[in-house]
Structure 1
Amino acid sequence: MSSTQTRRKISKRAPAEAKEDAQSAVQRRFLRLGLERQQDFVVHLPLRYEDETRIQPIASLRPGQTGQVEGEILHSEVQFRPRRQLVAVLEDGSGRLALRWLNFYPSQQRQVERGKRVRVRGELRGGFSGVEMVHPRVTVAGGELPDSLTPVYPTTDGLAQPTLRRAIDQALREADLSDTLSEDIRRRYRLMPFDEAIRSLHHPPPSVSYQDLVEREHPAWRRVKFDELLAQQLSLAMARAARLAQRSRAYGGAGQGLVQRLQKGLPFALTAAQQRVVAEISADLARAYPMHRLLQGDVGSGKTVVAALAAAQVIANGGQVAMMAPTEILAEQHHGKLAGWLEPLGVRIAWLTGSLGVKARREAIEAIESGQAQLVVGTQALIQDKVVFANLGLVILDEQHRFGVGQRLELSRKGEEAGGALIPHQLNMSATPIPRTLAMTFFADLDVSVIDQLPPGRTPVVTKLVSDGRRDEVLALVAQEVRSGRQAYWVCPLVEESEALQLQTAVETHERLCQALPDLRVSLIHGKLKAAEKARVMDAFQAGEVDLLVATTVIEVGVDVPKASLMIIEHAERFGLAQLHQLRGRVGRGAVQSVCLLLYQAPLSQVARQRLRAMYETGDGFEIARRDLEQRGPGEFLGLRQSGAALLRFASLETDEELAAQAQELARHWLEHEPGRAQVHMHRWMRGRQDYLRS
């Protein structure tokens, strides 16, 4: 075949292939949004709405308002001062409006040529020459107006709203919109029919209150939120039922000898709360189905020793235990404590992190695989493919919300791979208490143990708010504390300079503090230091060889230095509430009165002001957690940021507690009496995300 014939053949195929490629690109973008089945498109609901049902007079619009006007272009030109831009003037008889494009194509220029009648939509701003719209949407005047508000959907790069709207409208015509709730249930919970609710949200008539729609208070939103919460409650109940049907090794009476020896060897007595929690966990481990328990306790309440006693019970019965922590510093703290308690009793402990040398890593992996290592402490290195456990019986996750859902599942599956049909027990630990609503929704399939008292000798931390302008007073306080034989932390958010945030860096702060306090031994720790260097600095601080430790948030959890009685948090307004509470928990670990200074830079935003006020007003972890949930949503508690899928898209944990309780009630009834209906409802809503709920 000649090259000319080949080119002709290619040119004939090209349009069809190009169309096919374009379609597959659109499909890929749909999948990126989780849109695969018709049902997925049906419940892909608008973020907001645009009112294109009416034309407004220019004179009636005010800056900050989004509007749609129609009129004649009086003037149009490309200007070059101060930069290249397309400028036009539109008149509708009531007034004039400037239109401006900073980036434009020749086709846009032709759209707004002088004398043309056009319809434009955009947000009004106050400009140098009166009101203007920047980058408005332009169409030809006189077209038919829609009879409902125009939905604006969550989308992804390269997927235009019109494409998404067409796909959703097609799904609304073809999908099964039958109701999963009976009329009796709808009446009992005051819910509108599903079909009506869905159509109202995709195409609301202009008479509907825009406020009710965007604030999700319309009855149609109430129905959607109930359905979503019901699907979630069903999956959690199913996950719990599935767990009870799974098998685990029962680690019972044979382990009590080691547990008792460990308890007798401790240099302190357990609190009543710790004893209660130890008994709950011990009973779980003795059962032949997997424990899935959340151990929560405020900062410094003594969760690590509870974990050690659980580990001892499993190890004495021949099982292996893996404890995974989110940072090397925290993992090392746990390793030091557990080794001090358990190694004298003959327990063999392995250490595995990403920074280990090749030889040490190989030896640790071999000890894990052979079963010689009875307790393995480490970071995410534990979930690498090369790590194989001989007999993993218990997985302990510290600060479980700091791991992605996938990572938590991965470690649990290490036990499944090793034991075939047997599933390891799982203990999740968190110093961030779970608010009641969150426990009722996301953690409904978990058993929860709470250590609700601090060990004796712990003193409440006094929290003070100090503006950046009083830095000299703060330095004087640091010097005074050190002269009294105590130590201090100075926490900074970043290591490297960021012009955008204008935050002081740990490195710069360390240098300034060395100059301002030349008599003090000032040291520096941050995330970019090598593991050995971090360990050296922390060991020196714990040994009292460092007076003032300048640090980033690597010291947020797990660091225990009883002589440290003062903490200064630089740019406290930039931290989250839960993180501030965690940092504050690093002091107050001895008998001396401890102080946490929140150093802030004015002016404060409304959110930052609320956050700092909460820290000043309460040291109660549950109250802090409740306020943090109000401000930041559930992602922080759940570790869902890394999972790629938030499990609630529409319901709000702050405002929909009543709906959550009703959904929980109906889920229990359905699973007992109407399991078929439950499956149909799940199919519509969960989109294959049930597996995340077992982590």
Structure 2
Amino acid sequence: MAKLSDRLDFVIGRKAADPLEEHFGIRTVNDLLRHYPRKYSDEMTVAGEGEELEEGVHVTFIDVITKAELKWTNRQPRREYLVVTLGNRQPTVTATFFNVKYLKSTLVKGAKVMLSGEVGYFRRTMQLTHPAFLVLHESGGVRGSKSLRAVAEASGATGDDLLAAFERDFFPIYPASKKVQTWEIYACVRQVLDVLDPIPEPLPEPFLRQHGLITEDEALRAIHTAERSAERDAAIARLTYDEALGLQWALAERRHSELSGSGPAVAPRDDGLVAAMRGRLPFELTAGQRDVLDVLSAELAGTRPMNRMLQGEVGSGKTIVSVLAMLQMVDAGYQCALLAPTEVLAAQHARSIRDVLGPLAMAGQLGGVEGATRVALLTGSMSAQQKRAVRAEVAGGEAGIVIGTHALLQDAVEFQRLGMVVVDEQHRFGVEQRDRLRSKAPDGVVPHLLVMTATPIPRTVALTYYGDLETSTLRELPRGRQPITSNTIFLKEKPRWLERAWQRIVEEVGAGRQAYIVASRIDENDKPKGDKEDSGPPPITVVELFDRLSRGPLSGLRLGLMHGRLPADEKDAVMAAFRAGDIDVLVCTTVIEVGVDVPNATVMLVMDADRFGISQLHQLRGRIGRGQHPSLCLLATRLPETSKAGQRLTAVASTLDGFKLADLDLDERQEGDVLGHSQSGRAITLRFLSLQTHLELIVEAREFCTALYERDPGHTGMAALAAPFTDDRVEFLDKA
């Protein structure tokens, strides 16, 4: 007999188990039984006499071979092939087989066979090309194609009983490959179920009664073998709970494993950098910022490492919150690392943090105050000499706040006393990257972790995708933020609106303001990524757009070109010029999507806006409306208003609420795109759980797992449910 935890090769043999592991990562009985059918098909229903079948339909015939002809191809080298005719059917049914060395002595006139394949037609003759086959009424062993033979052998049937193995109202169709077909998977499942011990029930019986759920044992058998749809529906309902509970248990394990370490307990001081910083802020913190800071400050003062995500709208003031939190650590002699995904964003953070700190960030410099710290910046494009100097400043402890890109993760970077890690734009990083940075702390210390995102996250995604983190949200925008008006330009319906857009940009520049014009691609060599409408017209490139505008409607303005392929020093120079007002219009790609703060920019025109996702458009729009003047965002597309992309753009233009747009984005992309695939290429195993429709179930699963984990962290049944989400699979949820 077998258990869920048994290795599959011990149960069905290595010959059958090895391909399952190689192609699907299936290693245990539990893995196999949770490789659920992707659909159920009645395609194995036997075709009757005179039945009309459409071309391409998968069908099975059971009949006697009335003719078996060996033929030769006309082309060189000539190949022998076999054509058999089934019964005396109308229309005539034939099957063609190549590689006939062994088949010509098996598929002979008078043999009763099962043939299974796709229907094709040639001159009113129904044809099956190299279908799967099985010889019926055979004495001795089973002869036939590997896939059908595997089913027959798994059933234990022989001779006249072979047909009974296929007399079903449906067949499960599994995610399969050319090397491992759905028949073979089905045969392995049947073989496992025949020897499987009753599965222990991991959930309390009152829980099952409360939710009207069948047992684990019933569900895992019915999902593969039940012939009635009502039984399969009951299995799906139970397995949906399994996925929610398994995922939340895996995340609970991760939360507790991180909290088991000792974090640096740092109580706030009344006379340190935090107090000095609050005293010199040129603006008043919002109520939301103060509330979040109270939470962060309390967690930084505790011995359990903080694991928190701070999400908020573009411009909601997350950065200043993170700075005040980091200063609480610096006041106690710890260092903080801020990890940013791009050099543009890292440089922007370094510049803005130095500006807001002023003399508080000038330790050892003329003008610095007593007790000041330093803000260091480390990026990959720095010269070797510059990197050495920054690394020495970090290793010596002079830099209290260290900002950088992936360059911070290199082994050569050593901290004297790392106590807190801040990760900006969390979705750009993997969990192993933030853990690598946290590992640079002194032995025995687990740094506090704060991850930030300006992409609003639906609650279901926050509970799964970021399920190992507590969440804080900033919804309130700081006072003085100006409204952003958004409009969509449908160029085919209203081509003159684009001319008006160029005029509006000229007017804004004439009034002393600046503008962004965004394109989706750099040049013709730039392969499109994630284009939303592959069938639409080719997008204009930023290089072409810059050239066209320089010689056309914006020829009288000072234009700058900015994209990710420019050298770092050139990007810095362009951004510095734009920030200083020496460039009127920045023609750019999404390199300005995050971290660029130019309050004087009041207009953004996004060309081929249909090429961008909802969240990305919302991020881009957040680059304007940051100063004292009302702002305008224009989304231009050559696709019709009635198209799916047109409707998406209309939705973006209709609201500034990023949380509404996040829900819309989830509805459009579906969770498969949200969760992606693990590094091994294996799909994240959410077959039935929907992030769109199962919020209550996910919340309930989280509460149940949290309470149970506190009482019984070694619960074996829950560990089995969590198995598909452990190791690299659950880790990938943090970076998908």
Answer yes or no: same fold by TM over 0.5.
yes
Q: Secondary structure at the match of 1:670?
A: helix
Match of 1:40 in 2: 31
Instruction: Tell me how far 1:320 sits from its aligned partner.
Output: 0.7
Which of 296, 307, 323 aligns to 1:308? It is: 323
Q: 2:68, 2:82 within 8 Å by CA — same for their partners in 1? A: no
- Which residue of 411, 431, 438 maps to 1:412? 438
Amino acid at match of 2:696: E
Q: What is the aligned partner in structure 1 of residue 411 from structure 2?
A: 385
Shift of residue 324, structure 1, vs aligned partner: 0.5
Aligned: 1:373 with 2:396: no
Per-residue deviation at 1:34? Answer: 3.1
1:529 aligns with 2:566: yes
Over residues 486-512 of structure 1, what are the superposed CA-to-partner deviations in whole Å (9 max), with x where a residue is unaligned?
Answer: 222121122232698532222122222
* Closer/same/farther in 2, CA of residues 70 and 488 from structure 1, 3 Å limit: farther
Work out the percentage of aligned pairs sharing the same amino acid: 37
Map 1:465-614; keep pairs closer than 5 Å: 465-469=488-492, 470=495, 471-497=498-524, 501=534, 502-516=538-552, 517-603=554-640, 607-614=644-651
Whether the aligned pair in 1 keeps the contact of 2:292 and 2:472 (CA below 8 Å) is yes
TM-score (structure 1 length as normaliser):
0.83
Pair 1:315–1:26, CA change in 2 (3 A): same
Unaligned runs of 5+ in 2: 1-12, 137-161, 361-371, 529-533
CA 189–536 in structure 1, closer or farther in 2 if over 3 Å, else same = same
Instruction: For 2:541, give the aligned amino acid.
Output: T
Distance of aligned partners of 1:594 and 1:56 in 2 relative to their CA distance in 1, 3 Å threshold = farther
Distance 1:643 1:409 in 2: 20
Question: Which of residues 333, 350, 365 is equivalent to 1:318?
Answer: 333
The reply to whether residue 154 of structure 1 matches residue 175 of structure 2 is: yes
Cα drift, residue 257 of structure 1: 2.0
Deviation at 1:527, TM superposition (A): 1.2
Of 301-310 and 566-575, more deviation after overlay is shown by 566-575
- Aligned partners of 1:401 and 1:636 also within 8 Å: no
2:421 counterpart of 1:395: yes
- Which string of whole-angstrom CA distances, capped at 9 and with x for unpartnered residues, describes residues 326-383 of structure 1? 1111111111111222352132122112222212122222322232222111111211
> Contact 1:88/1:99 (CA < 8 Å) preserved in 2?
yes
Counterpart in the other structure of 2:133: 139
What TM-score results when the alignment is normalised by the length of structure 2? 0.79
Aligned residue for 2:155?
none
Distance 2:420 2:676 in 1: 21
- Helix, strand or coil at the partner of 1:613: helix
2:443 maps to a residue whose letter is G
**Offset at residue 610 of structure 1 (A):** 4.2
- Per-residue deviation, residues 130-175 of structure 1 (Å, max 9, x unmatched): 8988978443686733526333333467444444444444443445
Residue 154 of structure 1 aligns with an amino acid whose one-letter code is P
TM-superposed CA distance for 1:556, in Å, is: 0.9
Change beyond 3 A, Cα 1:44–1:155: same
- Do 1:520 and 1:547's aligned partners in 2 also have CA atoms closer than 8 Å? yes
After superposition, the Cα gap between the structure-2 partners of 1:651 and 1:254, relative to the gap in structure 1 and judged at 3 Å, is: same
SS in structure 1 at match of 2:229: coil
Alpha-carbon displacement from aligned partner over 1:628-685 (angstroms, at most 9, x marks no partner): 1222245777797769663644311112223223423432453355555x33321343
Hey, what does 1:185 align to over in structure 2?
207
The answer to whether the Cα contact below 8 Å between 1:353 and 1:380 also exists between their aligned partners in 2 is yes
Given that residues 328 and 353 in structure 1 are in contact (C-alpha distance below 8 angstroms), is that contact kept between their aligned partners in structure 2? Answer: yes
Question: Which structure features the higher share of helix residues?
Answer: 1
For the Cα contact (< 8 Å) 2:339–2:403, is it kept in 1? Answer: yes
Query: Which of 22, 27, 30 matches 2:21?
Result: 30
Matched ranges for 1:79-90 at <5 A: none
Cα distance in 1, alignment partners of residues 125 and 689 from structure 2: 39
Question: Over residues 13-61 of structure 1, what are the superposed CA-to-partner deviations in whole Å (9 max), with x where a residue is unaligned?
Answer: xxxxxxxxx9699737615633222222221212233334312357544
Equivalence for 1:12 = none
Cα distance in 2 for residues equivalent to 1:467 and 1:588: 23
Give me the whole-angstrom Cα distance separating, in 2, the residues matched to 1:666 and 1:165.
34
CA contact (8 A) 1:197 1:220 kept: yes
CA distance in 2, matches of 1:666, 1:168: 31
The answer to which of 37-46 and 442-451 deviates more is 442-451
Corresponding residue of 1:283: 298
The 2-side partners of 1:413 and 1:30 are apart by: 33
Match of 1:654 among 692, 700, 706: 692
1:632 corresponds to which letter in structure 2?
R
| Kept after mapping to 2: 8 A contact 1:397/1:428 | yes
Displacement of 1:622 in angstroms is 0.9
CA distance 1:98–1:386, change in 2 (3 Å): farther
Moved more, 92-101 or 532-541: 92-101
Structure 2 distance, partners of 1:535, 1:95, is 74
**Structure 1 unpaired stretches of 5+:** 1-21
- Say how many residue pairs are matched: 656
What is the CA distance between 1:314 and its match in structure 2?
0.7
Equivalent in the alignment of 2:229: 208
Residue 172 of structure 1 aligns with which residue?
Answer: 193
Q: Which amino acid aligns with 2:654?
A: E
Instruction: Give the aligned partner of residue 460 of structure 2.
Output: 437
Structure 1 position 407, deviation (Å): 1.8
Alpha carbons 1:569, 1:597 under 8 Å: kept: yes
Corresponding position of 1:428: 451
Question: In the alignment, does 2:377 pair up with 1:351?
Answer: yes
The one-letter code of the counterpart of 1:180 is P
